[in-house]
Chains A and B, each alone.
Chain A
Amino acid sequence: MKKVLAITLGIVTSVGGFLEIGSVTTAVQAGAAFGYQLLWAILLGTACLVFLVEMSGRFSAVSRHTIVDATRERFGFPFFAIVMVGVVLVFFMVLVAELGGIGLSLQILTGIGFPWWAVPVSFVVWFLMWKGTFGLIENGASILGLVTISFVVAAVKLNPDWGAAAHGLLPGMPGTDKAKYGFLAVSILGASISPHLMYFYSSGAIEDEWDKSYIPVNRFIATLGMTFGGVLSMAALVAAALTFQPNGVEVDTFEQSALLMTTALPKWGFFLFAASMLFTCLGAALETSLAIAYFFAQGFGWSWSEDLTPSKNARFCFVYTIIILLAAVPLLMGIDPIKVTLMSMALTAATLPLAVAPFLFLMNDPIYLGEHRNGWISNTVVAITILISFVLALIAIPLQILGG
């Protein structure tokens, strides 16, 4: 029974980590601008993610160590410190974007601007972490996140041309706007392969006390959970292609994205979109703050668990309290969350090699994994992901410098 319930870890990881403001924004933008043509980027990102998440779970279940633990133990403090600076900076920006996403959802629902929501939203997120247990966050976020299935309903109701959609699963080059196409492809991959998801999942497996017997369960959960997220994100793209393209609308703002389902589901579309964004961004905000706190606690060997009372792991709780507090500041100043989102995705892409390269070593470590080491298929996938992430980094960094 416990193993059946373990599926919620997969769904929460997927709903909060995969489907969040970043992937929805990029998917909707891509659909509006290029129709089905960028579906392949989501497919590729999802495929890489399935493998990486499976590995994170397997690593924790077999070795009883998280990926962060092992990164410090194998590579030593200096390398760990470099990863820490890069990763924590990016996670922080993602957190700002997610809190902003909650604020924007509330803004379109109530008409009150998102800066006003910065403090209440941050407080709620902090309070859930302070009082809640891991199980509550896990189950709550996955149940609420199921509202995103409306994306699939909307996409199907719009009668997409399945042949054309299938064609979009293969990469191609558009006739015009090559630069925008490339930028969106990079952003989609950056939004899909997000490292906080792997750290979160790997820590979650320890919080849920997985052992070797969970290896098959883990494989199933990782595949199903991430595919779930990928399908939802593709559905958002398809719905955007069918809704915005005929009207000539290029989506640049959250207000425009909110119209995603008003054609397909006239009665509830608007509210379903707002609710979907509200819940997924909430899940992602919890997940990202936890990922940051896990990162510090595991890297420095502090006690950590979302289930203990705060004073039992004071430094762990102190980290997320400070981080959430700081994340509210840019929103209070009225910085556009969508801009933060786009920037954080490009930066995620840029720091991806740092986060993914250790996988290649850790997943082949006989001391940690024994006979459960990676086979050649998984190793090839990691190698390809590292290669992709290096290319993404090379593309994303100049883009950032030039202020794209």
Chain B
Amino acid sequence: MEINVELLLGTKVCDIDGEDVGRIEELRVERDGQSCLVEAYFIGASAVIQRLSAWTLVRPIRGILSTRRLYSAYQVPWQDMDLSDPRHPRLRIAKRDLRHAK
């Protein structure tokens, strides 16, 4: 099945229990010779910071952004993402089992 990546960005993701996880903001890919494989999806607000390459800007004011929520991103390996309905992506696991991105 073909999916347009640009339209996938910003769509909300639910976990296996239907709980809201966040929005897809970035895709980590690996170039392997001629092909380009998707390794992981990044979900959450600070994935946007990563995408804007704005860490140097945000790091000094890290203290102010004390709320963990604003400051966190989940890294979802490709195996854990179910994109069979691209408009409503679902995780194959529960939110509590997700790994925080560094």
Contact = CB atoms under 8 A, between A and B. Distances in A.
Interface of A: 74-77, 360-361, 364-368, 373, 379
15 contacts: A74-B53, A75-B52, A76-B9, A77-B6, A360-B57, A361-B52, A361-B57, A364-B54, A364-B56, A364-B57, A365-B52, A365-B56, A368-B53, A373-B56, A379-B57
Given A74-B53, A365-B52, 16 more contacts: A75-B52, A76-B9, A360-B57, A361-B52, A361-B54, A361-B57, A364-B56, A364-B57, A365-B54, A365-B56, A366-B53, A366-B56, A367-B53, A368-B53, A373-B56, A379-B57
Interface string B38-70: 000000000000001111110000000000000
Chain A binding surface, main DSSP class: helix
Most chain A CB atoms below 10 A, which of B6, B53, B55: B53
Contacts of B6: 77
Interface of B: 6, 9, 52-57
Nearest to B9: A76
A365 B56 CA distance: 7
A373 B56 CA distance: 9
Contacts of A379: 57
A80 to B, nearest CB: 13
A72 to B, nearest CB: 13
Nearest to A368: B53
A369 to B, nearest CB: 9
A367 B54 CA distance: 10
Contacts of A75: 52
A76 B5 CA distance: 13
Contacts of A366: 53, 55-56
Contacts of A367: 53
Contacts of B9: 76
A361 B50 CA distance: 12
A145 B56 CA distance: 41
Contacts of B56: 364-366, 373
Contacts of A368: 53
A75 B48 CA distance: 10
**Nearest 4 Cβ contacts at the A-B interface:** A364-B57, A365-B53, A364-B56, A367-B53
Nearest to A365: B53
Contacts of B55: 366
A384 to B, nearest CB: 16
Contacts of B54: 361, 364-365
Contacts of B53: 74, 365-368
Nearest to A360: B57
A367 B53 CA distance: 7
Contacts of A364: 54, 56-57
B9 to A, nearest CB: 8
Nearest to B54: A361
A382 to B, nearest CB: 10
A365 to B, nearest CB: 5
A300 to B, nearest CB: 15
A364 B60 CA distance: 12
Nearest to B49: A361
A77 B57 CA distance: 22
Nearest to B59: A364
Most chain A CB atoms below 10 A, which of B9, B55, B56: B56
A4 B9 CA distance: 47
A74 B52 contact: yes
A75 B9 CA distance: 12
B64 to A, nearest CB: 14
A77 B53 CA distance: 17
Nearest to A379: B57
Nearest to B56: A364
Nearest to B10: A78
Nearest to B60: A376
A139 B101 CA distance: 52
A163 B57 CA distance: 42
A77 B9 CA distance: 12
Nearest to A376: B60
A358 to B, nearest CB: 10
A29 B36 CA distance: 61
B49 to A, nearest CB: 10
